Amino acid sequence: MIGAGLAGSEAAYFLAEHGAKVVLIDMKPKMTPAHTSEKFCELVCSNSLKSDDVYGNACGLLKEEMRMLGSLTMAAAEKCRVPAGGALAVDRDLFSSYVDEHLRRHDNITVLSGEVEELPAGGIVATGPLTQGKLFDAIQKKFGTLHFFDASAPIVTGESVDMQKAFTQDRYDRGTGDYLNCPMTKEEYESFVTALVSAERAKLHEFEKKDVFEGCMPVEVMAARGMDTLRFGPFKPVGLTFEGRRPYAVLQLRRENTEGGSYGLVGCQTNLKFSEQKRVFSLIPALKHAEFERYGVMHRNTYLESPKCLNADLSAKGSPDLFFAGQITGVEGYVESAASGLIAGYHVLGRLLQKPSVLPPATTVIGALCRYVATENKNFQPMNANYGILEGGYEGVRDKTERRKLIAERALYDIGRFKREYLG
C-alpha cells in the first residue's frame, strides 16, 4: 500500500480489518509542499467534508454508503466533527491523529517510511495529486501522460437550465443534439464579461503557480484580453441559430452523461471562487436558476487518463494485481478519494481470497464513481459525487426533493445488500 492519504488510509484499514497483512509505505516525515503535518490522512485544503444530508445531497449519500461499509475516515469524522450547519466539518488535527493512531496501532499493519521509486507489480498506489519523483516517472512511462495543473469547468444539472432561453443544436448541425446552447444578446454578453473579469479568484498555492496557465486557459484570463475574445473563442455563435437568426454570443453546455442529467460549461475552466462562479455564470439568462453539481477548479492535480488505464474495479489494464486509488484515478474531493480507497481495498481483498469481487451497484454513488473513471470519455475530467452519474435517476418524478429521497433510499438498500452478499 503506497500512500497514507485518505484513499490509502481507507484501503489499508479495510484490508487489515478483514484479516489481511498490510505494509503501508508513506513518504512522511518527508512532506510535499501541500503538507504541514507528519501524521497520515492530512486534510490540506479544507476541514469540510461537504454536506451531511443523506437524502438531499449526493456527497451526503456517499458518506452514508461509506459508513455502512466500515469506513475509517467516516468514523474519524464523526469523532472529530465541529459545528458546521448541514455540512460535516472536522477538527483537522484531531481527524489526522485519529486515523494515524488507528493505522499505526493495528496489528495487521506495518508502517514503513520512505519514497517508492518503482511501480510495483501488485498492491495499491494511492499517492495523490502531488505524486512526484521517480514514481511519477514510472507511472507515466507505463500509462502515458499524466494530467496536471488541471483546470475544470463547472457542471450544472440539466433540469435547472431554463429551456425557454436555451436550445438544443450541434454547431452546423453536425451531431446528434448533444449540446444545449445558451444564447446572449450584446448587452447580456458584455455584462457577463464585465462581471467575469472583475470577479474574485481563488488563491493558489505557490507550488500550483508555476506554468499553471500554459496547459489550460481559465475563462476569466481569456476574457481579460478583450471584450470580444470569448465571442471569437468558446462563446462563438457561428453555426448556431436561435429564433431564426444567429445569436450575438453562445455558451454551449455539453452532456456529462448519456441521460443528459448533467451538463458541463464548455470552455469555462475557471479559478474563480465558488460563490463568484455561481454569481457570474447565473448572469447568462438560461443559467439564471442553475444548480451547480460541481464548480470549476484549478490546481495541481495529477491523475491518470483512467478510462484508458483502469478497469472499474480500479485495477490497471494489463496488470490485474496493481490497483490505484484516490485522486490519481480521476475522482475529485476528499470524500470521493476516501471512497475509492475503500472500494480498492475491497477488490484487493477479493484477489487475496481468490474470490470474485463484484462492483457495487451503479445505483449507488460509490459504484457509479467506479464506473465513471473506467468509462470511455474523450473529455475525461475528475469527477465528484453527483446525481448525474447514478443509474436510473427517477426522471419521471418531478419533485426534486422526493426524487432525491427515492434515489437515496434505493442506494442505501442496494449498498446494504451488496455488503451482506460480498462482505458478510
HSE at residue 332, side-chain half, CA atoms within 13 A, is 22
In sequence order, which ranges of 85-205 are alpha helices (DSSP H)? 92-104, 133-143, 186-198
The x, y and z cell numbers of residue 375, run together, are: 468509462
CA dihedral 226, 256, 209, 87 (to 10 degrees): 110
Taken in order 60, 63, 67, 68, the sign of the CA dihedral is positive
Contact 81, 48 (CB under 8 A): no
**pLDDT given for residue 147 in this prediction:** 77
Q: What are the C-alpha distances in Å from 316 to residues 201, 304, 309? A: 37, 11, 6
Contact 167, 232 (CB under 8 A): no
Q: How far apart are CA 47 and CA 94, in angstroms?
A: 11
On the 0-12 / 13-18 / 19+ scale of CB atoms within 10 A, 388 is: buried
Q: How far apart are CA 184 and CA 284, in angstroms?
A: 7
The x, y and z cell numbers of residue 57, run together, are: 445531497
Cα–Cα nearest to 20, from 109, 81, 113, 146: 109
CA dihedral 287, 292, 298, 299 (to 10 degrees): 180
Helix (H) or strand (E) holding 51, with range, is: strand 48-51
pLDDT tens, 42-92?
A: 886 667 898 999 999 999 999 999 999 999 999 999 999 887 767 888 888
In sequence order, which ranges of 282-380 are alpha helices (DSSP H)? 306-309, 334-352, 365-374
Neighbour tally for 390: CB within 10 Å: 26
Q: How far apart are CA 78 and CA 88, in angstroms?
A: 8
Q: How far apart are CA 300 and CA 317, in angstroms?
A: 25
Strand ranges for 247-343 from DSSP E: 249-255, 262-265, 292-294, 298-299, 315-316, 319-324
Contact 73, 12 (CB under 8 A): no
pTM across the whole model:
0.75
Q: How far apart are CA 384 and CA 366, in angstroms?
A: 10
**pLDDT given for residue 378 in this prediction:** 82
Domains of the chain and any CATH numbers: 6-148+301-422 (3.50.50.60), 155-297 (2.40.30)
User: What are the pLDDT tens digits along the chain (424 aa)?
Assistant: 999 999 999 999 999 999 999 999 998 887 665 566 789 998 866 678 989 999 999 999 999 999 999 999 999 999 998 877 678 888 888 999 999 999 999 999 999 999 999 999 999 999 988 788 899 999 999 998 787 766 678 989 999 999 999 999 988 887 777 789 999 999 999 999 999 999 998 875 544 444 444 446 789 999 999 999 999 999 999 999 999 999 999 999 987 765 668 888 988 989 899 999 999 999 999 999 999 988 887 766 789 999 999 999 999 999 999 999 999 999 988 999 999 999 999 999 999 999 888 999 999 999 999 999 999 988 888 899 999 899 987 888 989 999 999 999 999 999 999 999 998 7
Cα 40–Cα 271–Cα 324 angle in degrees, nearest 5: 40
Contact 98, 61 (CB under 8 A): no
83 in helix, strand or coil? coil
